[in-house]
Amino acid sequence: MQAHEIDYHIYGEEMQYVEIELDPQEVVVAEAGSFMMMENGIKMETIFGDGSGQESGMFGKLLSAGKRMLTGESLFMTAYMNQDSNKRKVSFASPYPGKIVAIDLTQYQGKFICQKDSFLCAAKGVSVGIEFSKKLGRGLFGGEGFIMQKIEGDGMAFVHSGGTLARKELQAGEVLKVDTGCIVGFTKDVDYDIEFIGGIKNSIFGGEGLFYATLRGPGIVYIQSLPFSRLAGKIIAASGFNSTKEEGGVLGGLGKLVDGI
């Protein structure tokens, strides 16, 4: 096993946080800004990329950081190492109301694909890279552009979602149709595409955009009830500023393709 083997516990209901228990010399890597608290004896260090290429020299570090930049994330992450002789704990909080999902990559054939901003933290050795869409329609109108995140390795990773979380296990050939903004992530064998809703009334007056995502099994899919884009849109609308309907719509798809949101 290449990744560090960490223990954890998830606390809370709507504003969750995950507590990681580290053995001596174990390391967990997290997104900048997700830190909540830690016990004495843990050292915090800023690193390039996700920490998975640190032993391969400067080129490995730059490659890891470059992949993160393409997904719109920071070039840097933070590593937390237990330098004490006893077990120590460090906690990370979700950035908005929702659920934290523990992903054991050994159960998902070493790979999990998720939306760009859902990654929270992982055991050192887990790689956080990019997953390019091979389909033009998915890239233009899928709500995530041409690039999604892929988490690879043999350790534990944690992603967060908005609102209530649904876990669906699709059989071979089974299809689930989802709002494009509601996808949290899915296993590597799931086929992800975009489908036109159809119908003039649906397209113009439906208020749900022009496209939805189709997820075809076999595999496991995680769906969120409250995408951050929807939450932000409601806040902007309530504040009196104009906002563009963007979940699955033509303008939203093109806008996200340009600005990387």
CATH of the domain at 136: 3.60.160.10
State pTM to two decimals.
0.77
59/90: higher pLDDT: 90
Mean pLDDT across the chain: 79
Instruction: Write down the pLDDT at residue 134.
Output: 57
List pLDDT tens digits, range 186-216: 999 999 888 876 555 545 544 455 678 889 9
Answer yes or no: are the C-beta atoms of 150 and 74 closer than 8 Å: no
List pLDDT tens digits, range 22-50: 999 999 999 888 999 999 999 999 887 66
Using the 8-state DSSP alphabet, how is residue 142 labeled? S
Within 10 A of 206 (CB to CB), how many other CB atoms are there? Answer: 12
Q: Is residue 89 part of a domain?
A: yes
Q: Is residue 2 part of a domain?
A: no
Q: Is residue 219 part of a domain?
A: yes
Using the 8-state DSSP alphabet, how is residue 15 labeled? B
User: 229: pLDDT confidence band, cut at 50, 70 and 90?
Assistant: confident
Instruction: Write down the pLDDT at residue 82.
Output: 97
- The 3-state DSSP class for residue 62 equals helix
State the alpha helices, DSSP H only, in the chain. Answer: 57-70, 136-141, 200-205, 228-239, 250-259
Going across the sheet that includes 191-196, the strands are 175-178, 211-216, 191-196
Residue for token digits 């071979």?
172
Q: Is residue 215 part of a domain?
A: yes
Q: Is residue 92 part of a domain?
A: yes
- The boundaries of the domain holding residue 49 are 7-259
**Per the structure, how many domains does the chain have?**
1
Q: Is residue 143 part of a domain?
A: yes
Using the 8-state DSSP alphabet, how is residue 23 labeled? -
Residue for token digits 């397209």?
203
List pLDDT tens digits, range 4-18: 889 999 999 888 999
Q: Is 137 exposed, middle or buried (0-12, 13-18, 19+ CB in 10 A)?
A: middle
Distance from C-alpha of 93 to C-alpha of 110, rounded to nearest angstrom: 25
Distance from C-alpha of 178 to C-alpha of 164, rounded to nearest angstrom: 15
Q: Is residue 173 part of a domain?
A: yes
Q: Is residue 1 part of a domain?
A: no
Instruction: Write down the pLDDT at residue 130.
Output: 80
